[in-house]
A = this chain, B = another copy of it.
Amino acid sequence: MRPRDEQKIDAIFAAVIKLTGSVGIAGLKMTDIAREAGVADGTLYTYFRNKEELLNSVYYQLKRKGVLAIVDGSEHLPVKIQLYKMWESSLKYLVTEPAETIFLEHFRVSPFISEDNKKLSQQLGQYLERLLERGKEEMIIKPLSNELLISLLTGFLKDYTRHLVNHGLKVTEARVQESFALSWDAIKA
């Protein structure tokens, strides 16, 4: 029976994310994670079976946090408005937490990712799918497969985020509107 000191786990997660930002997933060493988190090497193994499990836990937790940051409870609003809000909060979240973004991006192609986490729905996945379905029913979104529409939205979102982060640009109202307009023109009926 482990008390599971949540503070310690948070410190470990934060250490993983911070270090990934500076040295990448491949440069992560358990010793460094432990030092950064302020615990002993061995302690990592009282909370996680091994490195793989630790990183997958971080991934899983970030995914959940990401969805929460992006999806608010405004399911009653019109589809386009909801999409806009989602677009805005996604951009803000991704750009504000570049270290987390880097971790996610690196982890997805790392040898550590588990089958379970591979299957984990895309960040905006399920929520987006329902939204797009509604849009198609309302005939304001093209009657195309969700995969295609989602590829456009998330692909563009990731690339644009990377561009903003790499150039140290802020997420202004103008940038949100401008980029959303592009997406919308693509998918609108």
Contacts and interface: CB of A to CB of B under 8 A. Distances in A.
26 contacts: A24-B109, A24-B110, A25-B109, A26-B110, A26-B111, A102-B109, A105-B109, A106-B109, A109-B109, A144-B178, A144-B182, A147-B163, A148-B179, A151-B156, A151-B160, A152-B152, A152-B160, A152-B182, A155-B155, A155-B159, A155-B160, A156-B156, A158-B159, A183-B186, A185-B186, A186-B186
Nearest to A187: B182
A50 to B, nearest CB: 16
Contacts of A144: 178, 182
Interface residues of A, number: 34
A23 B159 CA distance: 25
A31 B108 CA distance: 25
